[in-house]
Chain A
């Protein structure tokens, strides 16, 4: 007998090992499937099962069973089974395969599932070139739910939701999934076959086997679209339904290979080396870091700073806060840093809340700061009234307007941006102001600030500029104090 005839014989007469002998998961009639007489699913299941047998992959195979007539694949296939939500089988298959790269994952979907609700999932799984096999059973209707129209329903075809026949004007044109997906660069094999006669059935069996084999060889994404009779919904005899596949469906959905890159692509290596468990903390960059060496002066025993830093986006507001928090942590203080994001972002302003304390921090929100660093006038006007009595306002400007200065609030107003420009870059305004803040509060030893700065600023040029800006900021405050003492 020729191979073709043998294949026909196998499919008609033999029960593959990949099927259960008896369908225990099925509630009744456990010796037969739930498929109707003449339904293409019976043939397709047999072809898939015999491919699994041939390739010797039964233990490795995982079948994804999404919603539709295909959902009961797990009644019959003696392989690992995962039932999936409507349309999502390619997403589920993607993760199953990536989790277990040695498994053989088959996503077995109908046309409603794959081409309508699951159109995004199949498109992207194909486009990523997932190493899975998609079996796409196209019978141009939603069969299990009683014969509604789907994207693959033919023009003029009647269904319960196109009672007068599908019209291009209302429902658009039949979706040619195989053609569509074959425009992508990643898929390795896409073929459309039919179940219109025995010759077509034999070709379908070869195509399905090939699509599974591609995966076994590690080549990538394969999809076989099968034009499949549904005599019950089409209201035909099984023989009429086969004729309809050949004579009608094929006119809209021509058979053939749409994409074949199996000879060009290299098999994928799935056995990539994995680090030992003990290496993971270091790989996550959370292993112990080197402590600072040498004697560093301690911090005062009582520290309770509630700092609000505010300015335009791009002024380094968040970095200023980060350096403070990081230095505070280095110095053994409790710290928190909280960026304000959201409504403020729209107007291009930026602000953060920083707390440094000798005792655990209850709330990281700073609604009434004892230090406000206002890097521009809108920030000064927005937050000056919230500063606590006895607190400080550092303002990037010539003078704090009188209406922003309540009783009992100290202030240091200098044209910091102008001074930063003179030092070489206006972008170090933040560090000038931080320098002044450090000098005013006297809380953080410089060594901790230096260490924080070098861990946060990666550019050597800025690191050096920032360091000198910090020193300059400190001396700006000292000079001002001297001048005030002299004036007194």
Chain B
């Protein structure tokens, strides 16, 4: 199939429908609205459901209903809307219902502004709702990944019976790049646990209520065991010239793209830089980060926030290597030049001593 130039948000929604999504419930918000609008246009055409809900609270509970009925379903929102959906996400996770939520992030707190920021990381990746639960979080960095990771999101949601969030900054949602779609659509199927209004499904119950203490703890442990499996199997990251990298830059989404461009320039200057770009934010690719400590002397997390993902980088390394941080916010992006300055500074602070050591050894 020929590549088409398309906005990230449009591509995401088309990929969702190809992946078997047959219900969209949402509430408009910049910069996610194109997803809602694309769903409004195409869902009726393909025999699916589109409904603009009265609020994000209603929208996420509609997802709960559609997922309970065994339909692949999704919604899309951004910062403030995601905050409103947290209660529903906790219920979805508690009742083990699969669904996909696209968070096309903007700036906060409060009304903030509509420009891209990566400050939804904590509320999405750490789970802003109540109780012992996690959501699986995927972070596309290109329009093609909006397509590919959306398909993966539906698969993972079903495999783990858990909400999956696509966390993309406003740039990835708003930009256009050539994309390629799978040539065939996925056939929706009815999960056996669904409450589908049939004789076979009459005994089914979707529930997150467990009155008995032991039963509640057992449920919560079972969820935890499931997250452990996801942790072992699903952590994904792209490594870009990390083989011999002594400085490792860590960033996701649009930042990952900037870091790659910086790597090219820094390598040309002889600085051994590499990029680790998390593709899954939960599970976080901690072991992939730890694997780099043999040659990496310093790590730097670069984000469009005041430092949220950086905590996970620090946890992954657990003090094994220093972790520096560069963040911009409010819609500002860490520029190529800013990151280059950081890289040069890290090179002079962390790599120079070893360069001298090498020299010393050479003289012996």
Point out the residues of chain A lying under 8 angstroms from B115, CB to CB: 341-343
Which of B23, B116, B177 counts the most chain A CB atoms within 10 A? Answer: B177
Which of A71, A96, A363 interacts with B66 by CB under 8 Å? A96
Q: What range describes how many residues of A lie at the interface? A: 35 or more
When A and B form their complex, which 9 residue pairs have the shortest distance between CB atoms, in order from nearest?
Answer: A103-B197, A342-B115, A95-B65, A274-B47, A99-B69, A92-B65, A88-B61, A363-B261, A91-B61
Which residue of A has the minimal Cβ distance to B240?
A362
Which of B207-215, B284-292, B318-326, B342-350 forms part of the interface with chain A?
Answer: B207-215
Which residue of B has the minimal Cβ distance to A337?
B176
Point out the residues of chain B lying under 8 angstroms from A339, CB to CB: 174-175
Which of B51, B53, B68, B175 interacts with A336 by CB under 8 Å? B175
A368 and B338 CA atoms in complex are apart in Å by 12
CB-based A-B contact count at 8 angstroms: 240
Q: Which chain A residues in 268-300 approach chain B with CB under 8 Å?
A: 272-275, 277-278, 280-281, 283-284, 286-289, 291
A123 and B54 CA atoms in complex are apart in Å by 10
Complex contact B175–A363 (CB within 8 A): no
Q: Could you list some 13 contacts between A and B, CB below 8 A?
A: A91-B61, A95-B65, A98-B51, A121-B61, A275-B46, A284-B42, A325-B176, A339-B175, A342-B115, A342-B170, A343-B113, A345-B114, A365-B171
Complex contact A284–B205 (CB within 8 A): no
Which of A94, A273, A289, A362 interacts with B47 by CB under 8 Å? A273
Closest chain-A Cβ to B168's Cβ sits at a distance in Å of 13
Complex contact B31–A78 (CB within 8 A): no
Question: Cβ of A419 < 8 Å from any Cβ of B?
Answer: no
B-contact bits for A48-72, CB 8 A (1 contact / 0 none): 0000000000111110100000010
Closest chain-B Cβ to A21's Cβ sits at a distance in Å of 13
Which of A79-87, A176-184, A465-473 forms part of the interface with chain B?
Answer: A79-87
Assuming A99-B22, A286-B4, A336-B177, what are 18 further A-B pairs, CB within 8 angstroms? Answer: A59-B202, A74-B205, A74-B207, A83-B206, A88-B88, A92-B65, A95-B69, A95-B73, A99-B65, A100-B196, A124-B54, A275-B45, A277-B185, A280-B17, A284-B14, A284-B17, A336-B175, A339-B174
A88-B88, A277-B185, A283-B45 known; A343 and B205 CB under 8 Å?
no
B-contact bits for A216-257, CB 8 A (1 contact / 0 none): 000000000000000000000000000000000000000000
Complex contact B258–A365 (CB within 8 A): yes
A325 and B177 CA atoms in complex are apart in Å by 8
Closest chain-A Cβ to B29's Cβ sits at a distance in Å of 14
Complex contact A95–B62 (CB within 8 A): yes
Point out the residues of chain A lying under 8 angstroms from B133, CB to CB: none
Q: Which chain A residues in 358-402 approach chain B with CB under 8 Å?
A: 361-365, 367-368
Point out the residues of chain B lying under 8 angstroms from A85, CB to CB: 61, 64, 87-88, 91
A272 and B48 CA atoms in complex are apart in Å by 10
Question: Cβ of A439 < 8 Å from any Cβ of B?
Answer: no
Which residue of A has the minimal Cβ distance to B190?
A100
Complex contact A25–B205 (CB within 8 A): yes
Complex contact B1–A81 (CB within 8 A): no
B-contact bits for A327-352, CB 8 A (1 contact / 0 none): 00100001111110111010000000
A82 and B201 CA atoms in complex are apart in Å by 12
Complex contact B177–A102 (CB within 8 A): no
A277-B185, A280-B18, A341-B115 known; A71 and B64 CB under 8 Å?
no
Which of A91, A273, A287, A368 interacts with B336 by CB under 8 Å? A368
Q: Which chain B residues in 173-197 approach chain A with CB under 8 Å?
A: 174-178, 181, 183-185, 187, 195-197
Closest chain-B Cβ to A212's Cβ sits at a distance in Å of 14
A121 and B65 CA atoms in complex are apart in Å by 13
A95 and B71 CA atoms in complex are apart in Å by 10
A-contact bits for B111-143, CB 8 A (1 contact / 0 none): 001111000000000000000000000000000
Complex contact B205–A83 (CB within 8 A): yes
Complex contact A80–B204 (CB within 8 A): yes
Which of B18, B22, B23, B202 interacts with A284 by CB under 8 Å? B18
Which residue of A has the minimal Cβ distance to B55?
A120
Question: Cβ of A326 < 8 Å from any Cβ of B?
Answer: yes
Question: Cβ of B70 < 8 Å from any Cβ of A?
Answer: yes
The interface of chain A, by Cβ under 8 A from chain B, is 25, 27, 58-62, 64, 71, 74, 78-85, 88, 91-96, 98-100, 102-105, 120-121, 123-124, 128, 272-275, 277-278, 280-281, 283-284, 286-289, 291, 322, 325-326, 329, 334-339, 341-343, 345, 361-365, 367-368
Q: Is the interface of A mostly helix, strand, loop or mixed?
A: mixed
Point out the residues of chain B lying under 8 angstroms from A272, CB to CB: 47
A-contact bits for B1-38, CB 8 A (1 contact / 0 none): 11111000000001001100011010000010000000
A362 and B336 CA atoms in complex are apart in Å by 11
Which residue of A has the minimal Cβ distance to B22?
A99
Complex contact B46–A283 (CB within 8 A): yes
Complex contact A121–B199 (CB within 8 A): no
Complex contact A281–B25 (CB within 8 A): no
Complex contact B17–A342 (CB within 8 A): no
A350 and B73 CA atoms in complex are apart in Å by 35
A272-B47, A286-B4, A337-B176 known; A92 and B185 CB under 8 Å?
no
A82 and B193 CA atoms in complex are apart in Å by 11
A128 and B49 CA atoms in complex are apart in Å by 14
Point out the residues of chain B lying under 8 angstroms from A278, CB to CB: 184-185
Complex contact B196–A343 (CB within 8 A): no
Question: Cβ of B81 < 8 Å from any Cβ of A?
Answer: no
Which of A27, A59, A82, A326 interacts with B68 by CB under 8 Å? A82
Closest chain-B Cβ to A330's Cβ sits at a distance in Å of 9
Q: Which chain B residues in 61-85 approach chain A with CB under 8 Å?
A: 61-66, 68-71, 73
Closest chain-B Cβ to A348's Cβ sits at a distance in Å of 15
Closest chain-A Cβ to B182's Cβ sits at a distance in Å of 9
A272 and B46 CA atoms in complex are apart in Å by 11
Which of A64, A94, A342 interacts with B114 by CB under 8 Å? A342
A284 and B23 CA atoms in complex are apart in Å by 15
